[in-house]
Amino acid sequence: MLLKPVITEKSMTLAQTGQFTFGFSGGMSKTQIKTGIENLFKVKVVKVRTSRQNKAIVVLQPGQTIEYFELPKEKKKKL
21 occurs within a structural domain? yes
Domain membership of residue 14 as a residue range: 3-63
The span from the first CA to the last CA of the chain, in angstroms, equals 50
Strands 45-50 and 55-60: antiparallel
In a domain, 71, yes or no: no
Tell me how many domains the chain contains. Answer: 1
- Cα gap 35→23, rounded to integer Å: 15
- What pLDDT, in 10s, does the model give residues 27-52? 899 999 999 999 999 999 999 999 98
In order of 8, 13, 60, the CA distances from 40 in angstroms are: 21, 22, 14
What is the CATH classification number for the domain harbouring 28?
A: 3.30.70.330
The answer, yes or no, to whether residue 1 has pLDDT greater than 80, is no
Tell me the three state secondary structure of residue 17. coil
Q: Is the pLDDT of residue 79 over 70?
A: no
